[in-house]
Structure 1
Amino acid sequence: MKKLLLLLFLCPLLAMGQNQTKDEDQIKAVILKTFSAMKSVDSVALKSCFTSNAMLHISQVKPEGNTLREVPAAKFIQNVMTRKPGDMDERVLSWGPILIDQEIATAWVPYEFYLNGKFSHKGVDVFLLVKTGNEYRIKTLLYNMHQ
């Protein structure tokens, strides 16, 4: 009887853990898809990673002070399309925390960025994602750039 009660108690916890892992895998997949689409200059794939009104916020420390630029994802995608395949290569250095609550999530992702095969900068991408249907999309991308 004790084993049955323990099993009944653990089953929902195990299922919740499996859903968390599945969601984390989906979040990592959309981030990697974003980077791959940038590298291959694939506008259809890149657009599918973002919500329709997504924004990018770029923080850059300069000698004259910190600047913060805001760019609609649509404009970012247009900029990527001016490149040649392979020009832009963003690489995940490690996976930081991924936090999920129902249909919203955040992911902290240290990265390095290479432009035309040469190291350009590194920083941290902070993704804010929303789940619509069965997939996550990027609502906001905040990132910083430094050497």
Structure 2
Amino acid sequence: MKFKIVALFVFIPLFVFGQNQKQTKDEDQIKSVILKTFSAMKSVDSVALKSCFTSNAMLHISQVKPEGNALREVPAAKFIQNVMTRKPGDMDERVLSWGPILIDQEIATAWVPYEFYFNGKFTHKGVDVFLLVKSGNEFKIQTLLYNMHQ
């Protein structure tokens, strides 16, 4: 009986510690793919940018307009094509803070407030909401929903 109690006090903390380390590793990987996305946009690197998204990823852009809210949907491939028409340094998206990152096995969400600069000038800010899927050993962006405001 004593062995069972001792085993519980030894193995349960080890299991919890292992789970926390996996969670931290996954969170770091998610932050890394988001920062890689922003860096690839800024450097106009199509290979790096494409590697951040799943093959059928979508972007959803929410804008508040005088005539009402508008939601546009853009395939990631079209977004990447648009980025490639820019010059390096034109687009500069900056993380303001890291909101919650929630992970369950192979799916995750990340809430990321941002500011956006075009040609060195602030144009807007908002929140990026990333929905990610683990493919093999890495997370990739499946859906990016974001809003834009002053």
Give the TM interval when normalised to the shorter protein.
over 0.9
The Cα offsets for residues 100-131 of structure 1, whole Å up to 9 and x where unpaired, read as 00000000000000000000000000000000
Partner of 2:60: 57
In 2, Cα distance between equivalents of 1:125 and 1:78: 20
1:45-99 Cα distance to aligned partner (Å, 9 max, x none)? 0000000000000000011111000000000000000000000000000000000
- Code of the aligned partner of 2:74: V
1:38-53 equivalences under 5 Å are 38-53=41-56
For residues 4-19 of structure 1, the aligned pairs below 5 Å read 4-19=7-22
| Aligned partner letter, 2:9 | L
Tell me the TM-score normalized by structure 1. Answer: 0.98
Superposed, which structure 2 residues align to 1:32-111 within 5 Å? Answer: 32-111=35-114
Who wins on radius of gyration, i.e. which is larger? 2
TM-score by length of 2: 0.96
The whole-number CA distance in structure 2 between the counterparts of 1:24 and 1:9 is: 23
Off by >6 Å, runs of 4+ in structure 1: none
Q: Show structure 1 runs of 5+ residues with no match.
A: none
Count of matched residue pairs: 147
**Is residue 40 of structure 2 the alignment partner of residue 22 of structure 1?**
no
Residue 6 (structure 1) shift: 0.8
Amino acid at match of 1:131: K
Unpaired runs of 5+ in structure 2?
A: none
User: Quick one: which of 114, 123, 126 aligns to 1:120?
Assistant: 123
